[in-house]
Amino acid sequence: MNVQRYTLPAILLHWGQAVIVVWLLWLGWTMVDLPKGAERSAAYGLHKSLGLLAMGLVIVRLLWRARHPAPASLAVGNEARLAMAVHHLLYVFLVCAPIMGYLASSFTQYPLKFFGLEVPKLGWPDEGLNGTFKLLHVLFVWSGAALIALHIAGAIKHALLRDGMVARMLPEVFRK
């Protein structure tokens, strides 16, 4: 079956973002249970750095997509509409979750660092605003996790059907 594939940069951006997001989800869910101290501070610092990296990466992805449209979908009917909705909502999650995290961090007394380099914040210490943006961050993350589960379920379905859908997003070396 000859299907139109995604470009190599699109594939690398997709899988790079996937690795970072899964790492962020795992780190976010485990760091909150750590006792206060150096290990917890390091986990939060890494989470914030990876979140800023994810925010930059999604911007690159959106710019790439604007100049390089995705291949035509192989799905039809309701499946095509569901796939499109999930993909669009995944982009909403990929944009909004890190923005809400950044804004939450902007309204604390702590400096915001990107792998050790201080990043300007848009706010000032304010527990109310910090709490609001933290809540929004968590809501986007849980919604995003559900969307990721749907995305993975769809990929598994298409992998089992061997209909060529999954191969479009795999580097050549994994498609044999």
- Residue 44: name the closest of 56, 32, 55 by CA: 32
Q: What is the pTM of this model?
A: 0.92
Residues of the chain with pLDDT under 70: 1-3, 175-176
* φ and ψ of 114, to 5 deg: -105, 100
Dihedral (Cα; 146, 159, 18, 5), 10-degree rounding: -130
What is the predicted pLDDT for the residue at 172?
A: 78
Q: Which residues contact 15 (CB under 8 A, 6 or more apart)?
A: 169, 171
What is the predicted pLDDT for the residue at 3?
A: 66
Spatial contact of 20 and 49, defined as CB atoms under 8 Å apart: no
d(CA 50, CA 28) in angstroms, rounded, equals 11
Domains of the chain, earliest start first? 8-174 (1.20.950)
d(CA 137, CA 95) in angstroms, rounded, equals 11
What secondary structure does DSSP assign to 162-173, as a single string?
A: T-STGGGGS-GG
d(CA 170, CA 152) in angstroms, rounded, equals 14
What is the predicted pLDDT for the residue at 2?
A: 57
d(CA 64, CA 56) in angstroms, rounded, equals 12
Dihedral (Cα; 159, 26, 58, 18), 10-degree rounding: -20
Q: What is the pLDDT of residues 66-115, one digit of tens each?
A: 999 999 888 899 999 999 999 999 999 999 999 999 999 999 999 999 99
What secondary structure does DSSP assign to 115-143, as a single string?
A: TTEEE--S----HHHHHHHHHHHHHHHHH
* φ and ψ of 160, to 5 deg: -65, -35
